[in-house]
Amino acid sequence: MDRSLLDVPFVLDRPRNATLRAVVSETGVVRSYDLRYDARHRESHVRVRTSYAVSALGTATLPRPAWLSTANESVVGRGD
């Protein structure tokens, strides 16, 4: 695993065994995540957990970007 992908506090070393559980809404909003990984602090094994949750989101109406229809047309008919 590339250490740069984790926000590892400088006092920790050798992050490994990372797991991430995320809850994403149908509209693409990350409602919560839970990140866990093992690391070393000096000579001790530590288990790191970072979590995040969003609550009480309001609503907003945003205009569609001008490039959206072009982007959608460029992928019409393409299969996975």
- Name the pTM for this structure: 0.53
Residue 23 pLDDT? 94
pLDDT band for position 8 (50/70/90)?
low
Residue 33 pLDDT? 93
pLDDT band for position 43 (50/70/90)?
confident
Q: What are the residue ranges spanned by the domains of the chain? A: 3-55
Residue 65 pLDDT? 87
Q: How far apart are CA 35 and CA 48, in angstroms?
A: 8
Run of H or E residues at 51: strand 44-53
pLDDT band for position 7 (50/70/90)?
low
Q: How far apart are CA 21 and CA 33, in angstroms?
A: 5
